[in-house]
Amino acid sequence: MVTTLSNSLIHILKPISLIPLLLLLILLLDPVSVCGQNNVLYSPEKLNPGDSLKNGGYSLVMHRGCNLVLYDNSEAIWSSNTNGQGTNCYCTMQRDGNFVLYSSQGSAIWSSKTWQGGSSHYVLVLQNDRNLVIYGPSRWATETNIRGTGVTIVNEMVNSNGANHTMAGQNDTNTKAEPLFSIVE
């Protein structure tokens, strides 16, 4: 009986490769690092001195001199203008919707002024169009996107049954979605 059961299990599992099962397990345990999404900062994550978000030739860099700078290749296109206001500063996407740059002593030096109170899920995204945007129940953007290279944000999924679902997106200005989003390029 035991031998028959063991042989049955081996016969069932034999066609299944262990590699796809291991990959699935890895994806389920740590989807962000496996997908390589280094253009996204989830609340309450932070960027320490020298850390950055990157998307193609665009990067958001937290400098050691406390300046947060958005680059298009090597050209600075936006900054927090906080250089020299501290050392070893860091920035964080807070659960209250505010993106804040703090000194090493914990004093707020700069913020996106998007505080909404309470606690929710927010995400800071460095988009393909070089715009840095906060998504969640409220949004903030640097307004540095290049016209015509935006992304589409899907509010609801459209199923094959033809159910009446809605989608929203645009290519020339900030794309907005609420409450959570999926990026479709």
How many domains does one find in the chain? 2
Q: What is the pLDDT of residue 114?
A: 86
The reply to whether 14 and 78 lie within a common domain is no
pTM above 0.85, yes or no: no
How does pLDDT run across 27-68, given as a tens digit for each residue? 344 333 334 469 999 999 999 999 999 999 999 999 999 999
Cβ neighbours for 127, distance < 8 A, ≥ 6 positions apart: 39, 55, 133, 145, 150, 151, 175, 183
The reply to whether 24 and 51 lie within a common domain is no
How does pLDDT run across 79-111, given as a tens digit for each residue? 999 999 988 999 999 999 999 999 999 999 999
What is the span of the domain harbouring residue 158? Answer: 37-184
Reply yes or no on whether the pLDDT at 163 is more than 80.
Answer: no
The reply to whether 157 and 78 lie within a common domain is yes
Helices (H), 30-136: 31-35
How does pLDDT run across 4-23, given as a tens digit for each residue? 544 554 554 444 444 444 33
The reply to whether 49 and 135 lie within a common domain is yes
Q: What is the pLDDT of residue 61?
A: 97
CA 129 to centroid of chain Cα atoms: 14
The reply to whether 58 and 6 lie within a common domain is no
The reply to whether 161 and 76 lie within a common domain is yes
The reply to whether 161 and 87 lie within a common domain is yes
> Which residues on adjacent β-strands are paired with residue 102?
90, 108
The reply to whether 134 and 68 lie within a common domain is yes
Q: What is the pLDDT of residue 141?
A: 72
Rounded Cα distance between 131 and 144, Å, is 5
Which tokens sit at 31?
């989807």
The reply to whether 100 and 84 lie within a common domain is yes
The reply to whether 23 and 44 lie within a common domain is no
